[in-house]
A and B are shown apart, each in its own frame.
Chain A
Amino acid sequence: MTQTSTAPVASGSSAPPPRGRERAGRLARWVPWACFAGAAVLVGLLWPVLDLNIALVVLYTVVLGTLAVYALARAVEGPRRATDRLVTCLVVSAFGVAMVPLFSLVWEVVSRGIERLDVEFFSYSLVGIIGEGGGAYHAILGTLVITALTTLISVPIGLMTAIFLVEYATGRLKRAITFLVDVMTGIPSIVAGLFAYALFALFLGPGIRLGIIGAVALSVLMIPVVVRSAEEVLKLVPNELREASYALGVPKWRTIVKVVIPTAIAGLGTGVTLAIARVVGETAPLLITLGITNATNLDPFEGRMATLPVFAYYQLTQPGVPPEFATDRAWTAALVLIMLVMGLNVVARLISRFFAPKTGR
């Protein structure tokens, strides 16, 4: 793992003894791997005897292997390098543990969702579907409409708030707004949904379900994310650029529009895209505000709308008889949702790559 290839120099008798007892020997590159292989074989032999399951086998192998590497290194290389190897093993194990849920989730969703990832899924709604077939055309389009509407509401408000905070606000007002934005970041999504629903129910009567309510609810969640990320990015714009612009006799607002924002555009784009990715999978607020429908409805100001997360939820909880077709559709909806979020993350990366200020070097 981490070892430098420099061979230890045979220390002359006049050299002062190093702190701790260093030994001249070094473990060969393959030795740690061999330790883990040996541990695996040993645990494998014990498997029938001890009645283990796969998770325990992996755990025992890692623990045994780590101990073996540590003991060997301590005997051959001395305590300092042995500690290095021990910590390396621990860090790599921690990384492995962190990767387990990710891979397990992706594997599960892909393996179950791939079955219905067909043309029909993308081109049919659920109108008149009982049992087999049908798709999430209406839910995919619904998600896109709602997300676009949310972005349209959140991005101007969020960006302008961030610009106000960075460029204009001072003292108590600035602290108050920053505090409120922080509080907003912590609002549970269901509360945002209830807020938007209650707001519209006041005017339009109870039991109302509209796309725009969902967009408002999601905006409550998205605005603070946009503000925070935009604020951080705008703060990164060097003050010297603002001063250079002022010194040319450019008014402040023009400096912001023509110098500050273009300099920060890559970061702003990335922040907005990641904020979209954050809300596109929200379920709870949409459950309250949009409801679900089987037909395609693209008008956010008229009637219920389907969205992917809510679609997946209903397909799974109310699958009908027999349940397996609806369950398959739910998994595929989840897969499409993950692909959507992943696509947005890729877009964010591309934005930050292409719009970054060029140095020409």
Chain B
Amino acid sequence: MAKRIDVSDLDIYYGNFLAVEGVNVSIEPRSITALIGPSGCGKSTFLRSLNRMHEVIPGARVEGKVVMDGVDLYGSDVDPVDVRRQVGMVFQRPNPFPTMSIYDNVAAGMRLNSKKMRKSELDDLVERSLRGANLWNEVKDRLDRPGAGLSGGQQQRLCIARAIAVEPDVLLMDEPCSALDPISTLAIEDLMTELKERFTIVIVTHNMQQAARVSEQTGFFNLSGVGQPGRLIEFNPTEKIFSNPDQKATEDYISGRFG
């Protein structure tokens, strides 16, 4: 559980367009790493390259190395499907499967991969995952109701439960709170602090207070102009980034002086 990720010289392309250039970073296990930066600077693209979701988009490709536990995720003998089993992901908009009940949504990772499990084991797993996502008490009486009937914040926690049910090593979160109200956001932030005991968490966020509240490390992405590739400008402990950043650009962005 909870593995370390080392990224070296990562270039990310959409077709011939270089979207993110030369990322070198080490993501520590059992911690939360936040990625901040203006829109279009490649944070989400970088995040999606960590579990090979980037290449789902036609024409998208990656050059460089992403090493997790000594294994290059982009090695020629690595199956992207296996990578995604180890590196889970939560998306910006809650996206529970509309055809499935709450129970089935959580069990989806197991069911869809047709892992044979006894009913009691599956029940345990669903309860454990929902408890892990702080959702159990709210839904335990209506597990057979459709997942789409929950509120936005509950749906997002359902998606987190679904992601942790497959027991990944790393959890990627792409602006998980941007569609939620402050109370649901707080619930998810609390949840993240609990989850970091078990997982390596990488979160993309536009909310700098959120990055400051929850993360240990923060990376600042920026791009020098339209059509230019995004770069990782600075990667430091969160406290340092928010009090005394190395780079002028980071300070400008955090203090709101940036365009």
| Residue ranges of A at the interface with B (Cβ–Cβ < 8 Å) | 170, 238, 240-251, 254-255, 258-259, 262-263, 265, 357-361
Contacts and interface: CB of A to CB of B under 8 A. Distances in A.
Nearest to A359: B148
Given A249-B82, A262-B99, A240 B149 contact: no
Interface string B120-142: 00000000000000000000000
* Closest CB pairs A-B (n = 8): A360-B149, A249-B85, A357-B98, A247-B89, A360-B146, A240-B95, A248-B109, A249-B84
Interface in B64-79: none
B146 A358 contact: yes
A263 B112 contact: no
Given A241-B95, A243-B91, A255-B112, A248 B149 contact: no
Nearest to A248: B109
A250 B146 contact: no
A245 B85 CA distance: 11
A259 B163 CA distance: 16
Nearest to B114: A254
A351 to B, nearest CB: 15
B53 A247 contact: yes
A256 to B, nearest CB: 11
A248 B108 CA distance: 8
Given A238-B95, A259-B112, A246 B146 contact: no
Interface in B60-117: 81-86, 88-89, 91, 93, 95, 97-99, 108-109, 111-114
B225 to A, nearest CB: 29
Contact of A244 (B95, B111, B149): B95
A244 B84 contact: no
Contact of A251 (B81, B83, B148): B81
B259 interface: no
Interface string B48-67: 00010100101000000000
Nearest to A258: B112
Contacts of A359: 98, 146, 148-149
B4 to A, nearest CB: 20
Given A248-B84, A248-B162, A249-B81, A254 B91 contact: no
A238 B111 CA distance: 21
Q: How large is the interface on B (under 10, 10 to 19, 20 to 34, 35 or more residues)?
A: 20 to 34
Contacts of B95: 238, 240-241, 243-244
A163 B32 CA distance: 39
A250 B149 contact: no
Nearest to B105: A244
A242 B108 CA distance: 13
Contact of B159 (A244, A254, A262): A244
B145 interface: yes
B142 to A, nearest CB: 8
Contact of B84 (A238, A241, A246, A262): A246
Contact of A357 (B51, B81, B146, B166): B146
A248 B99 contact: no
Nearest to B56: A246
A246 B80 CA distance: 9
A170 B82 contact: no
A250 B162 CA distance: 13
Contacts of A361: 149
A247 B112 contact: no
Nearest to A265: B99
A240 B97 contact: no
Given A263-B98, A357-B98, A360-B149, A254 B112 contact: yes
Contacts of A358: 98, 146, 148-149
A361 B142 CA distance: 13
Contacts of B113: 248-250, 254
